[in-house]
């Protein structure tokens, strides 16, 4: 098989702040193959956006420190590419859509002019062909009467329509990789379902690989083939989507699954939240990053950081958790039924008490 | 767990034929419902369906165009701001963005004591004790009183907003999408907290959400709104097992399932397009322009000719659809 479209290897990213370096990405390995849809899931602040924005080097120069590590796109390390080359890639081979389309659209320019400008930068269509293409793109993303809507300004469109415009723009040059960062988080469920359906259909039709970033595991279930779960700057579990949902291996992933409301669960069942707060990435703990919130933790979890290793069910399923790994000092969670056994209640009480005390510094 | 609000108790809140217009926009167009003491009503629908306007009208934050709102037996629609003041204590609101609703310059202790001061309740010492009590109720340590809202995470800030809403011992809380801006993992903390507060304090709630999966865990009854109207209202168990209105079924089918296998097998009917303009609602049934049932029945004339009433189909389950037959159509999510 040829090299993957995107291959991130042991990538680090720090933000310089008054409090020292915030290690937002701490040794991430992630692969997206041609035409594949992959999920990147985790709570707010765990480094998802920092990771994907690094692919296009979109982070503020003043504070972001890229590396060590590699981000290879088509087998070239983007961290070594000159600025001009980066700009060609963005919008060419790689396009990005964000959570809030209002911040990425120009408020004083019509939607049509913005897509036209984008096309002009990346193609050599003439005016007439460009106009036809804009109309084609808008109708492709389900915007009714595109000839009229292209003359509208962003504020005249609803949130869902603006997100469709962003997708139209992102797909206008038929990128090979689409980075979709929480694109449905600000939308109601009906619009979310519409936008996800649209993304699914289009990426399949255009054979676009997609990295779908979200804090909601339910969103990736129906959309992706593989999933990476991220916590506090690290990948803590990765698997094929079916394998991940069939046999999630570690307590953070269990926590995400247990806290998600599901129409499937018995009506009487209470939700089980993940208690506590993520660690401060300016001073992360020495052991497992999740230990401070983990109701199954043991001594070793607080002192030694587990590696990302093969999960007991094998295949490409990997997990960063002492309890889930079949190693001499670990393995106590293998075979645990996470739906039944929700951990040690005394540890849960400790975690609650600790977070009741904490106001996070910022 | 089903409602602690008893069925025979006098309603805490009675809303009858409520209408709120902003110019030509009929944001709320004839909404009626009751709320019993200690009961939680989920109010669900797409953005723009009028949920917030209902909540704000009940609290008289929004002007009411017509209709009646009785709270603890008193008609509140005509009351002057002065006459409203004692009732205000009994009704509080929680918003989606906790940070936006908490003054960033005030320490948490002040934020929680302020409502008590405004209403002249308790002396200094009493207020301090009450602040500590409120923090305990929402799972924060007493030390939190000395910090500023921005020093807390989003979930903790929402706890602070909830504590503030509880300060005056309200009988009703309108929670307007209180978890929409939080991570899924933290949403469950806030839902559980509100459920616990209802159990311990018997406070009734109108819990607004755009997502039927969220209210399922907290509401006793659920009202589904579309374009300013309630199109279905039922006890929770009824609504989720026998959703009768095609709009309710579409909303259910929009919720993603955290299960890839079921997700693939599922046949969904995702609604097309967006809400019609409330300035110019469709004639007859307001949902007719997007209704999959109407389409599958071959566009019967009733749908566009007459506005369907909210008809009782048994056990308090009411549906506004000419062709709804909940018995014939079991839920398929
Ligand atoms: N410009 C910045 N300066 C300093 N810290 C930042 C900056 N952007 C993000 N961070 C920090 O980096 C961490 C990861 O953030 P982010 O990648 O945005 O998380 P996510 O997208 O998963 O919510 C967080 O702790 C965040 O506070
Ligand atoms: N202050 C206002 N002025 C004008 N229109 C408003 C105002 N508040 C709400 N609306 C309109 O009323 C309708 C219902 O809005 P809202 O109650 O906020 O819906 P929801 O909370 O269900 O999203 C929408 O069409 C909205 O644009
Ligand atoms: Mg982000
Ligand atoms: Mg609202």
Task: Tell me the pLDDT tens digit for each residue of A287-315.
Answer: 999 999 999 999 999 999 999 999 988 88
CA distances from A200 to A164, A180, A289, B121 (A): 13, 12, 33, 57
User: How distant is the alpha carbon of residue B252 from its chain centre?
Assistant: 17
For B17, the token pair is: 């034929």
Q: Is B268 on the interface with A (CB under 8 A)?
A: yes
Contact A167, A106 (CB under 8 A): no
* Yes or no, beta carbons of A193 and B262 under 8 Å apart: no
Q: Is A264 on the interface with B (CB under 8 A)?
A: yes
- Chain A neighbours among B 7-36 (CB < 8 Å)? none
- 3 state SS of A75: coil
| Residue whose CA lies nearest to ligand 2 atom number 11 | B27
Please check the confidence at residue B4 and state whether its pLDDT lies above 60: no
Report the C-alpha gap between B206 and B12 in whole angstroms. Answer: 12
Q: Which residues contact B314 (CB under 8 A, 6 or more apart)?
A: none
Contact A262, B213 (CB under 8 A): yes
Report the C-alpha gap between B90 and B168 in whole angstroms. Answer: 7
Please check the confidence at residue A360 and state whether its pLDDT lies above 70: no
Low-confidence winner among A2-6, A340-344, B260-264 (lowest mean pLDDT): A2-6
Task: Tell me the pLDDT tens digit for each residue of A99-146.
Answer: 887 788 899 999 999 999 989 888 889 999 999 999 999 998 989 899
CB atoms within 10 A of CB A337: 6
CA distance, residue B249 to nearest chain A CA (Å): 11
Cα end-to-end distance, chain B, whole Å? 22
For A273, the token pair is: 């939240």
Closest C-alpha among A350, A194, A231, A259 to residue B182: A259
Report the C-alpha gap between A247 and A48 in whole angstroms. Answer: 23
Low-confidence winner among B161-165, B179-183, B319-323 (lowest mean pLDDT): B179-183
- Predicted local confidence at residue A271, as pLDDT: 86
The reply to whether ligand 1 has any atom less than 6 angstroms from the CB of A44 is yes
For B15, the token pair is: 């809303």
pLDDT classification of A359: cutoffs 50, 70, 90:
low
Strands (E) located in B266-316: 311-314
Task: Give the one of B156, B184, B211 whose C-beta lies nearest to A256's C-beta.
Answer: B184
Report the C-alpha gap between A267 and B237 in whole angstroms. Answer: 7
Task: Tell me the pLDDT tens digit for each residue of B205-241.
Answer: 999 999 899 899 999 999 999 999 999 999 999 999 9
The reply to whether ligand 1 has any atom less than 6 angstroms from the CB of A46 is yes
| Residue whose CA lies nearest to ligand 2 atom number 14 | B50
The atom number, within ligand 1, closest to the CA of A42 reads 22
- Name the closest residue on chain B to residue A182, using Cα atoms: B183
Domains, chain A, in order of start with CATH, read 1-82+203-362 (3.40.50.300)
For A170, the token pair is: 């992102």
Q: Which residues contact B299 (CB under 8 A, 6 or more apart)?
A: none
- What's chain A's average pLDDT? 92
The reply to whether ligand 1 has any atom less than 6 angstroms from the CB of A48 is yes
Cα end-to-end distance, chain A, whole Å? 46
Report the C-alpha gap between A357 and A98 in whole angstroms. Answer: 34
Report CA(B47)–ligand 2 centroid distance (Å).
9
Task: Tell me the pLDDT tens digit for each residue of B240-282.
Answer: 999 999 999 999 999 999 999 999 888 888 888 888 988 999 9
Report which DSSP code applies to B219: -
Pocket test for ligand 1, best of A17, A25, A50 (most atoms within 8 A of CB): A50
Q: A353 or B2: which carries more pLDDT confidence?
A: A353
Task: Give the one of B185, B250, B254 whose C-beta lies nearest to A256's C-beta.
Answer: B185
- Chain A neighbours among B 101-120 (CB < 8 Å)? none
- Predicted local confidence at residue B331, as pLDDT: 46
- 3 state SS of A119: helix
For A174, the token pair is: 């038929």
Report the C-alpha gap between B207 and B42 in whole angstroms. Answer: 5
User: How distant is the alpha carbon of residue A39 from its chain centre?
Assistant: 6
Q: Is B272 on the interface with A (CB under 8 A)?
A: yes
Please check the confidence at residue B292 and state whether its pLDDT lies above 60: yes
Task: Tell me the pLDDT tens digit for each residue of B97-142.
Answer: 888 889 999 999 999 999 999 988 999 999 999 999 999 999 998 9
Task: Tell me the pLDDT tens digit for each residue of A140-168.
Answer: 898 989 999 999 999 999 888 899 999 99
CA angle A34, A39, A43 (to 5 degrees): 150
- 3 state SS of B16: strand
For A269, the token pair is: 């069942």
3-state helix/strand/coil string of A177-240:
EEEEECCCCCCCHHHHHHHHHHHHHHHHHHCCEEEEEECCHHHHHCCCCEEEEEECCEEEEEEE
pLDDT classification of B7: cutoffs 50, 70, 90:
low
Q: Is the ipTM of this complex over 0.85?
A: yes
CA distance, residue A309 to nearest chain B CA (Å): 24
Contact B156, B140 (CB under 8 A): yes
For A236, the token pair is: 């803590």
The reply to whether ligand 1 has any atom less than 6 angstroms from the CB of A20 is no
For B238, the token pair is: 């009824």
Report the C-alpha gap between B195 and B175 in whole angstroms. Answer: 12
Query: In B, which residues are within 8 Å of A188 by CB distance?
Result: 46-47, 210-211
| Residue whose CA lies nearest to ligand 2 atom number 3 | B22
Closest C-alpha among A59, A37, A1, A79 to residue A176: A37
Tell me: cis bond preceding A68? Omega within 30 of 0 counts. yes
pLDDT classification of A187: cutoffs 50, 70, 90:
confident
Helices (H) and strands (E) in chain A, counts: 13, 13
Please check the confidence at residue A269 and state whether its pLDDT lies above 80: no
- Chain B neighbours among A 307-346 (CB < 8 Å)? none
């Amino acid at each position: 098989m040829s090299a993957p479209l995107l291959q991130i290897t042991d990538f680090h990213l720090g933000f310089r702040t008054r409090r020292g370096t915030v290690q937002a990405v701490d040794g991430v390995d992630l692969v997206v193959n041609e035409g594949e849809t992959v999920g990147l899931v985790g709570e707010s602040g765990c480094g998802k956006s920092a990771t994907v924005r690094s692919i296009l080097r979109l982070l503020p120069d003043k504070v972001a420190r890229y590396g060590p590590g590699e981000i290879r796109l088509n087998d070239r390390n983007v961290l070594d590419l000159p600025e001009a080359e980066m700009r060609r890639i963005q919008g060419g081979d790689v396009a990005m859509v964000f959570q809030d389309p209002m911040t990425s659209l120009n408020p004083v320019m019509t939607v049509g002019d913005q897509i036209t400008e984008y096309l002009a930068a990346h193609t050599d269509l003439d005016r007439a062909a460009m106009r036809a293409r804009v109309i084609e793109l808008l109708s492709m993303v389900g915007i009714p009467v595109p000839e009229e809507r292209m003359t509208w300004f962003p504020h005249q469109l609803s949130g869902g329509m603006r997100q469709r415009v962003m997708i139209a723009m992102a797909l206008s040059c038929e990128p090979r990789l689409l980075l979709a960062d929480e694109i449905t988080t600000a939308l109601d469920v009906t619009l979310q379902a519409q936008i996800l359906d649209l993304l699914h259909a289009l990426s399949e039709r255009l054979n676009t690989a997609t990295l779908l970033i979200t804090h909601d595991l339910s969103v990736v279930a129906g959309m992706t083939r593989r999933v990476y779960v991220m916590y506090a700057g690290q990948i803590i579990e990765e698997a094929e989507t079916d394998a991940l949902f069939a046999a999630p291996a570690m307590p953070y992933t269990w926590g995400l699954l247990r806290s998600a409301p599901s129409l499937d669960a018995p009506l009487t069942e209470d939700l089980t939240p993940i208690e506590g707060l993520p660690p401060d990435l300016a001073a992360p703990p020495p052991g497992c990053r999740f230990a401070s919130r983990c109701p199954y933790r043991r001594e070793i979890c607080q002192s030694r950081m587990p590696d990302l290793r093969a999960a007991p069910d094998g295949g490409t399923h990997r997990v960063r958790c002492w309890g889930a790994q079949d190693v001499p000092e670990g393995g106590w969670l293998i075979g645990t039924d996470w739906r039944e056994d929700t951990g040690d209640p005394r540890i849960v009480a400790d975690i609650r008490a600790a977070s009741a005390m904490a106001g996070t510094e910022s | 767990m089903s409602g602690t609000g008893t069925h025979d108790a006098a309603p805490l809140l009675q809303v009858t034929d409520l209408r709120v217009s902003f110019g030509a926009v009929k944001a709320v167009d004839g909404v009626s419902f009751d709320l019993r003491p200690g009961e939680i009503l989920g109010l669900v629908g797409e953005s723009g369906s009028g949920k917030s306007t209902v909540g704000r009208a009940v609290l008289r934050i929004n002007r009411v165009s017509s209709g009646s709102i009785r709270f603890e037996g008193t008609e509140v629609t005509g009351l002057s701001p002065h006459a409203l003041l004692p009732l205000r204590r009994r009704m509080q609101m929680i918003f989606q963005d906790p940070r936006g609703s908490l003054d960033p310059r005030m320490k948490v202790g002040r934020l929680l004591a302020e409502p008590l001061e405004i209403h002249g309740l308790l002396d200094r010492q009493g207020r301090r004790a009450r602040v500590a009590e409120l923090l305990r109720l929402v799972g924060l340590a007493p030390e939190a009183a000395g910090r500023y809202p921005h020093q807390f995470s989003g979930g903790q800030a929402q706890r602070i907003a909830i504590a503030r809403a509880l300060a005056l011992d309200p009988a009703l809380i309108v929670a307007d999408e209180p978890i929409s801006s939080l991570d899924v993992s933290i949403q469950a903390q806030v839902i559980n907290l509100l459920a616990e507060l209802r159990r311990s304090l018997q406070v009734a709630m109108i819990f607004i959400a755009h997502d039927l999966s969220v209210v399922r865990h907290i509401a006793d009854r659920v009202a589904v709104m579309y374009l300013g109207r309630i199109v279905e209202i039922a006890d929770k168990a009824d609504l989720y097992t026998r959703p009768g209105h095609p709009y309710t079924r579409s909303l259910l089918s929009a919720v993603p399932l955290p299960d890839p296998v079921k997700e693939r097998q599922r046949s969904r009917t995702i609604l097309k397009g967006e809400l019609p303009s409330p300035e110019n609602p469709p004639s007859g049934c307001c949902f007719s322009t997007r209704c999959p049932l109407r389409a599958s029945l071959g566009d019967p004339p009733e749908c566009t000719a007459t506005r369907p009433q909210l008809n009782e189909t048994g056990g308090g389950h009411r549906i506004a659809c000419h062709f709804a037959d909940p018995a014939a159509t079991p839920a398929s999510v």
